[in-house]
Structure 1
Amino acid sequence: MQRRLKTLLFIAISIGAGILHAPAQTPGTTGKHLTENPAPLPGSLTTDQMQADFDTLRKALEEVHGGLYRFSTKPAINHLFDSCRARLNSIHSQRAFMILLFEMLAQLRDGHMRLEADAATTAALAQARLFPLRLMLEGDRLMVLYNDTPGDSTIRPGMELLTVNGHRAAHIIHTILPGISGDGFIETFKRKRLERSFAPFYWLYVDQATAFSITAKDNTGNTITTTLPGILNAAREQNRAGNPVNTPIITNLARLDSAKDNVSLRFINNTDLACLRIRTFGGDAFISTLDLVFQTLHDKKTKALILDLRGNGGGVDEYGAALVSQLTNKPFRYFDRIHLTSILPSFTSWKPGTVENLRNGVVTDPKGGYLVTPQLHTGVGGQNPAARPFTGKLFVLLDGGTFSTAADVTALLRHLTNATFIGEESGGAAEGNTSGLNALVKLPHSKLSLKIHLYEYWNAIPPGKKGRGTLPDHAVETHVADWLQGIDAPMKRALLLATTSKF
């Protein structure tokens, strides 16, 4: 049995991991971009070359994608493919071809899908002077989180960005956001992706300017107008740390972030209440560390636990199941089933033994394709509770960055426990996702490539609202203004609920 890794793939056209998506529309419609005639990236493609690459991509998706029709019907997806192919006759640049593919793939609603940029685009982005601010979304507002210029002091964390090069902030958001891929119909994850990679999105969809005329508003209502030079992405973190305007929020966030360990436990005031933060479901020491944490909770007779899964992008399936086993005292199912469309892709090469393991570890699905057995993945078998599970009051912090395995965990905890959820809707679908084992298809002319995942996971939970995440019992938004004051609003609410609960 091989551990199955599911992780969050953040959007960026960066060296080695180029991921961008264009606006998702109803299948068969076209997206509207701020740049109607995008500037070409290095290289050019003929219509015949684009059609050949498109057909290669479509065939690969239809052959192996585990959940191609998970959120739409086969006729609707076929119509999407056909209409996008027809648009190739009006495309005249590599950049426009990329945008079309990103747009099409976003409509498949697969948050794990990963389109990797060609070398020329990756190099162009690495050399580009990009938008120099890190932003957060608060509704339809763009708020400055960091000023990533080397020394500008006119734009400060906490200001609201009003326009960039004449484009209104809300217009930019609503142009880019619908095109970012995510699980199902969840918006929180897409918003997190936009926050993390606003600069490359702006570069692709809005303009490739090297300087940015900005209007912003401070917390007193005064409007500030300035022009900031673009920055190299490689210099962003160094600039951020060296610019004094960022010092207060960097200091506050470092304090609020607590321990840097992947798995960290701290007690609040006394041993009755603890906070467990898990950043990812990964690392060779994960299981042993988890066992030690829950042994400590047992020894100290802890009555309430805050589990912080915010920003946890996922990891190893079995690690997620191990955490759930520490929080229930009854046997349970983790995955209801894992479905595969194919176990022998025609377009990729796997490590020796992979195909043999698949053949020995699946059975034929009467509805088509294959079903994974416990021999291949223990997650589809019965799960036992841990020796000393925690059964006290449980409070779970989650947000749009709670994705993949972390989202599976929140879904199972919603089903199996009486946990209280605080924050925002999880970024990953509660019902499961398409991830795990992948097959790489390389497009010969554009040099783009796509990792297509084969495992269609279905979590062992009752049916819910299709394509939605785990919803909070207490919705608490995060604002830059809170961080500037050293306040973690979701954690503050969790502490209030925990300390006023009867144990």
Structure 2
Amino acid sequence: MRATSFCLLYLLLPLVNTAQTTTPRFSADTVIHLLQDTYLELAAKHPGFYRYVSRPEYQQYIDSLKKTITDSLTEVEVYQKLKPFTAKMGCLHTGVSLPAAYTDSINHLPNLFPFQVAIQNNRMYVIQNFSGDTAIHPGDEIVQINSHTIPQLLQVILPAIPSDGNNTTLKYRAVYHLFPTLYRNLVQTTNSFQVQVLHQSNSHTFTLPAKSFDAIASNGFLKEVSPAQQLHFSITDSIGVLTIHSFSVSDIKKSKQQFSNFINAAFQNLNQQHIPHLIVDLRNNTGGSDGNAALLTSYFFDTAYRYWDRIEVTEAIAKDIKGATTLFYRKPIQKDNTWLWQKARTVRDFDYYETQKPAKNHYTGKVYVLINGFCMSSCADVTAVLAHHQKATFIGEETGGGYQGNNSGLMPVTTLAPTRLRLTVPLQAYYNAVNPAVYMGRGTMPDYTINETINDYITGNDPVMKAAIDTIKKTPAAL
């Protein structure tokens, strides 16, 4: 089955799994061979390995990376080599991690940067201060951390964060949610930080103790966002607002909701009350069930339409569908030099490349979809299909998931021996039924770009929702 969710937890697993404690060392030759073997394995089995990066470019990158390995490395240092290597292909579902037990043990130690931060124009600002030093205020600019300038840190951190294609909005969202573990993971592990801070244009330097994970982590910061309810619907002043935090069946079930019943009731209500405007808030929806995502999309169409164009696999994976596996999945078929995945025998997860029918209670009013860099995976499929058919006005920032589709589906995890590093590899490449010449290597683009300010982060202001409501007030009703 396709992964039920690409959530903040998926980002956290690779990013909180490192610290420079006592670990085995691996010779330079061992690491170089591991890198080469991983490269060959991905090239053979990852269906999107060359989706955004050409073979010669990747080979040049690998050759350059090998030259940096001149001495033995710890397991963490091997991880630091592999993270940007796997992220380079532009696949947010491909990840490298260390064992969970290792992560659990280091999270009890004080080794995390004691601030939540946000990046704007390559500059870093304090959003929350956990250091205990009241001389540092939200909104202050952090200029250096342990003698590293912020541009220097971003040159290390951003290339190691996976996102689809050439997207960067996901990467900056990840920095906002995860910077302390990113720093510990990719830069250094330390129990104190020397921080240069600008407060009202005055520079001050502080030496601050590190904090443990439990001391600073909260809902949405270093931990997965966990709303009380995944689905919410309301109508105010003839404007419907439908918020979908996740398409994941398990997440929705935990909030004691049922997706199809909830969505159908919401659209039935919209139509019965003749509500002319609907805001669909998909911000921070990191994906989930393709069935739920495709179902939502059907409520915005009044004629048949295409959702996915096709699903591709590599030849190596196509030939692995044999024996008992064929009880569940049909063998892919070859078309020219491409292997196409077929409908499964026992599940409907791969059915959405067929022509789709509109929902019975489909909506004909004006639709405004709120998006940001944490719209990923199946959520990004929804936005792409709606954008392609001009079914909505998009407000916010570019989605983190690819407009053209993504690589996901069956996602086995393997151990990269002789290390304990774990590699997640998606085996299917999904291609949305959209114009292949539009937004190549990018996400769905907003019609109205709204950038949150540092003050918005600090105060909780929502300029994106405000922009949607302001747009509606200027727009004549459709029903």
Q: TM-score range by the shorter chain?
A: 0.7 to 0.9
Residue number among 127, 146, 155 corresponding to 2:109 in the alignment: 127
Higher alpha-carbon deviation: 445-454 or 203-212? 203-212
The residue that corresponds to 1:273 in the other structure is 239
Establish whether residue 264 from structure 1 lines up as the match of residue 225 from structure 2. no
Alpha-carbon distance change, 64 to 407 in structure 1, aligned in 2, over 3 angstroms? same
Query: SS state of the match for residue 268, structure 2?
Result: helix
Q: Is the 8 A contact 2:312 2:338 kept in 1?
A: no
CA distance in 1: counterparts of 2:299 and 2:448, whole angstroms: 24
Residue number among 158, 167, 187 corresponding to 2:139 in the alignment: 158
Alpha-carbon distance change, 41 to 326 in structure 1, aligned in 2, over 3 angstroms? farther
CA distance in 2: counterparts of 1:332 and 1:111, whole angstroms: 27
Q: Is the 8 A contact 1:434 1:453 kept in 2?
A: yes
Higher alpha-carbon deviation: 62-71 or 116-125? 116-125
Unpaired runs of at least 5, structure 1: 23-37, 242-253
The residue that corresponds to 2:280 in the other structure is 307
Letter aligned with residue 291 of structure 1: N
Alpha-carbon distance change, 398 to 293 in structure 1, aligned in 2, over 3 angstroms? same
In the TM superposition, 1:4-23 aligns within 5 A as 5-8=4-7, 17-19=13-15
The residue that corresponds to 2:413 in the other structure is 440
Unpaired runs of at least 5, structure 2: none
Establish whether residue 356 from structure 1 lines up as the match of residue 327 from structure 2. yes
Establish whether residue 230 from structure 1 lines up as the match of residue 210 from structure 2. yes
The residue that corresponds to 1:206 in the other structure is 187
Letter aligned with residue 206 of structure 1: V
Alpha-carbon distance change, 465 to 417 in structure 1, aligned in 2, over 3 angstroms? closer
In the TM superposition, 1:11-50 aligns within 5 A as 17-19=13-15, 42-50=23-31
Alpha-carbon distance change, 499 to 240 in structure 1, aligned in 2, over 3 angstroms? closer
The residue that corresponds to 1:104 in the other structure is 85
Alpha-carbon distance change, 388 to 369 in structure 1, aligned in 2, over 3 angstroms? same
Q: Is the 8 A contact 1:423 1:475 kept in 2?
A: yes
Higher alpha-carbon deviation: 490-499 or 436-445? 436-445
Displacement after TM superposition at 1:478 (Å)? 0.9
CA distance in 1: counterparts of 2:452 and 2:335, whole angstroms: 44
Displacement after TM superposition at 1:338 (Å)? 0.5
Residue number among 465, 481, 500 corresponding to 2:455 in the alignment: 481
CA distance in 1: counterparts of 2:246 and 2:266, whole angstroms: 16
Alpha-carbon distance change, 237 to 89 in structure 1, aligned in 2, over 3 angstroms? closer
Residue number among 102, 107, 118 corresponding to 1:136 in the alignment: 118
CA distance in 1: counterparts of 2:22 and 2:376, whole angstroms: 32
Alpha-carbon distance change, 477 to 354 in structure 1, aligned in 2, over 3 angstroms? farther
Residue number among 53, 64, 77 corresponding to 2:58 in the alignment: 77
Letter aligned with residue 142 of structure 1: M
Residue number among 345, 356, 370 corresponding to 1:397 in the alignment: 370
Letter aligned with residue 210 of structure 1: N
The residue that corresponds to 2:433 in the other structure is 460
The residue that corresponds to 2:163 in the other structure is 182
Q: Is the 8 A contact 1:106 1:181 kept in 2?
A: yes
Higher alpha-carbon deviation: 293-302 or 173-182? 173-182
The residue that corresponds to 2:469 in the other structure is 495
The residue that corresponds to 1:25 in the other structure is none
Letter aligned with residue 490 of structure 1: V
TM-score by length of 2: 0.87
TM-score by length of 1: 0.83
Alpha-carbon distance change, 374 to 237 in structure 1, aligned in 2, over 3 angstroms? closer
Displacement after TM superposition at 1:288 (Å)? 1.5
> Cα deviation per residue 1:81-100 (whole Å; 9 max; x = unaligned)?
44434544444333332221
Residue number among 73, 85, 88 corresponding to 1:92 in the alignment: 73
Query: SS state of the match for residue 113, structure 2?
Result: coil
Alpha-carbon distance change, 363 to 476 in structure 1, aligned in 2, over 3 angstroms? same
CA distance in 1: counterparts of 2:464 and 2:165, whole angstroms: 25
Displacement after TM superposition at 1:415 (Å)? 1.3
The residue that corresponds to 1:248 in the other structure is none
Would you say how many aligned residue pairs link Structure 1 and Structure 2? Answer: 462
The residue that corresponds to 2:359 in the other structure is 386
> Cα deviation per residue 1:401-423 (whole Å; 9 max; x = unaligned)?
11111111111110123411111
CA distance in 1: counterparts of 2:176 and 2:218, whole angstroms: 19
Alpha-carbon distance change, 437 to 62 in structure 1, aligned in 2, over 3 angstroms? same
The residue that corresponds to 1:320 in the other structure is 293
CA distance in 2: counterparts of 1:224 and 1:495, whole angstroms: 41
Letter aligned with residue 423 of structure 1: G
Residue number among 320, 328, 335 corresponding to 2:308 in the alignment: 335
> Cα deviation per residue 1:57-103 (whole Å; 9 max; x = unaligned)?
23421231111111122333344344434544444333332221112
Q: Is the 8 A contact 1:91 1:97 kept in 2?
A: no
Displacement after TM superposition at 1:484 (Å)? 4.2
CA distance in 2: counterparts of 1:183 and 1:41, whole angstroms: 34
Letter aligned with residue 209 of structure 2: P
Higher alpha-carbon deviation: 389-398 or 68-77? 68-77
CA distance in 2: counterparts of 1:237 and 1:449, whole angstroms: 24
The percent of aligned pairs where both chains have the same amino acid is 28
In the TM superposition, 1:272-291 aligns within 5 A as 272-283=238-249, 284=253, 285-291=258-264
Displacement after TM superposition at 1:20 (Å)? 7.8
Query: SS state of the match for residue 274, structure 1?
Result: strand
Letter aligned with residue 242 of structure 2: L
